[in-house]
Structure 1
Amino acid sequence: MRKLILLVAVLASPVLAQDAPAVPQLNMQQQASLKCGTAFATVARGQTDGDAAMLEYPDMTVRGLEFFVRTAATLMDETGADREAMRALAMTEVTALASDPASLSEIMPACLLMLDASGL
């Protein structure tokens, strides 16, 4: 559990580098995993904050966050991206979800299937 909290904190922390990180190109599977992991983290945060709309989803505070952490770690391994690059990728997804609130409800059914298939 500590590893989960540490990785989420590191990915959520401000970028310390002066230059923008080199953001890798992701294949379709990697992009889908990142999108779903970010959606799960968004839902988990809303659930923790008591957001009624987020409480309608299954509990994401454990499984969803673990999916996000494992996805980030896997993408770092597969692409060679550093934490700052992963943060940039995740923030792009967060921004996309925030700009179109309906998109979360559109992607969650497929993301929940991906979560179930992950074995978490």
Structure 2
Amino acid sequence: MSFILIAAAIGLAAQATAPVVPATPPAAPLSQENKALVRCSAAFALVSFGQESGNAEAQKWPATDPRGREFFVRALAQVMDETGLQRDAVAGLVQAEAQRLLDEAQVDAVMPACLTMLEASGV
């Protein structure tokens, strides 16, 4: 799964006027850990996209690449393994979560926990 493509898709989705279509339900319910992995993957993608675009809000966070990118890849592979979802379904979950984070202005609220999760991941 291309982090840059997902980040670009998330950025485009944030600009779109049409609502994001919910992803297909997972074969197994998402655990709290899987939900956190999706949330932090979405947050890292949004911050990375913002940093690459020169967004001042995104610049206040530590650089997300390359560690955030590696976290994104590993986290979503784990979600696929644990839920049985395919790449496109997981990408849909991340896109929907990114849209929710943007709509509810929650990126800044989740980033501290996501940075802690990144540190704990050993990436």
**Is TM more than 0.5 here?**
yes
Identity of aligned residues (%): 39
Q: Is the 8 A contact 1:11 1:86 kept in 2?
A: no
| Structure 1 runs (4+) greater than 3 angstroms displaced | 9-13
Tell me the TM-score normalized by structure 1. 0.80
> Following superposition of structure 1 onto structure 2, how do residues 48-67 of structure 1 map, counting pairs within 5 Å?
48-67=52-71
Q: Which of 23, 26, 31 is the matching residue for 2:25?
A: 23
Structure having greater relative contact order (Cα 8 Å, sep ≥ 6): 2
Q: Structure 1: 5+ residue runs without aligned partners?
A: 1-5, 14-19
What is the CA-CA distance between 1:21 and the residue it aligns to? 5.9
RMSD across aligned C-alpha pairs, in angstroms? Answer: 1.9
Asked if 1:8 is matched to 2:3, the reply is yes
- Name the counterpart of 2:36: 32
Q: Structure 2: 5+ residue runs without aligned partners?
A: 10-21
In 1, the alpha carbon distance for the partners of 2:88 and 2:72 equals: 16
Task: Work out the number of aligned pairs and report it.
Answer: 108
Distance 1:114 1:7, change over 3 A: same
Amino acid at match of 2:2: L
What is the CA-CA distance between 1:109 and the residue it aligns to? 1.0
In 1, the alpha carbon distance for the partners of 2:23 and 2:110 equals: 27
In 2, the alpha carbon distance for the partners of 1:108 and 1:80 equals: 27
Distance 1:23 1:52, change over 3 A: same
Q: Is the 8 A contact 1:47 1:61 kept in 2?
A: no
